[in-house]
Amino acid sequence: MDDPRRHFDFWVGRWRCTWDGGAGTNVVETVCDGAVVRESFTSDDGSLVGTSISVYDEAADCWVQTWMDSQRSWFHVTGRFEGGAMDLVTMTDDPQGRRFRMRFAGISKEGFDWTWSRSLPTGGWEPRWAISYHRSPTPSAPVRRAAGERQGERGRGAALRLARDLEAATRFTQSGLELAVSDAVTLLRRPPCALPAPSQETPSFGP
């Protein structure tokens, strides 16, 4: 796929998303004459409803995405499709000097793996949330859980971790408005789109 404007085509469609302790649905479509990719995510238990818009910035030669959700979290990420994976990284450091990365990898026609990670002081990335995407040919009904709420609590835990990460990523200014203005100016100036150096080690989940 040589045209970078088409590098997010794999994401378009209706998806069933599963993670440790939870599940949800994500509907991704192109809008604005195909120039913009719009995401609509809903967890089955209703703890997280979010949306994002993504567009390819030809001058900066990178993709730009803005995410917002029902927990009033929001962030901006930029990145590229390289080595068979799409990496998008937050544009600014949090108060601890960390950045956050979402990665789409293991991509096939029927699914892929999505991870949310934060940078480590020693280099590399610490996984925080992993989601398996499986393409849904038809709209799927919400999953009914008859065995209590432990699974739902674990799923909400992942969503809360994401919310805490996003809060940390945006708290370094006096207000979210200052960050939005700063990022808008940055985008208007269209600086080179640089990503942190990849880790020499592959992050792993589990104990």
Domains (ranges, CATH) in the chain? Answer: 12-137+151-188 (2.40.128.20)
**What was the pLDDT predicted at 195?**
45
CA nearest neighbour of 116 among 126, 107, 108, 106: 126
Measure Cα distances from 11 to 31, 77, 108, 130, 173 in Å: 13, 16, 10, 16, 33
Residue 200 in this model has a pLDDT that exceeds 90? no
Distance CA 15, CA 138 (A): 9
Q: Is the model's pTM score more than 0.85?
A: no
pLDDT tens, position by position, 53-99 = 999 999 999 999 999 999 999 999 999 999 999 999 998 999 999 99
Question: Any bridge partners for residue 19, and if so which?
Answer: 22
Q: Which amino acid appears at position 66 of this protein?
A: T
Question: Any bridge partners for residue 64, and if so which?
Answer: 55, 78
pLDDT-derived band at 154, boundaries 50, 70, 90: low
Residue 184 in this model has a pLDDT that exceeds 50? no
Distance CA 1, CA 10 (A): 11
CA nearest neighbour of 187 among 3, 56, 36, 5: 56
User: Residue 57: which H helix or E strand, with range?
Assistant: strand 49-57
- Enter the tokens of residue 30: 């192109």
Phi and psi angles of residue 121, each rounded to the nearest 5 degrees, phi first: -60, -30
**What was the pLDDT predicted at 168?**
53
Mean pLDDT of the 19-29 span = 97
pLDDT tens, position by position, 125-147 = 999 999 999 999 755 444 444 44
Mean pLDDT of the 198-203 span = 36
**What was the pLDDT predicted at 147?**
40
- Return the CA Rg of the chain: 17
Residue 174 in this model has a pLDDT that exceeds 70? no
Mean pLDDT of the 162-172 span = 54
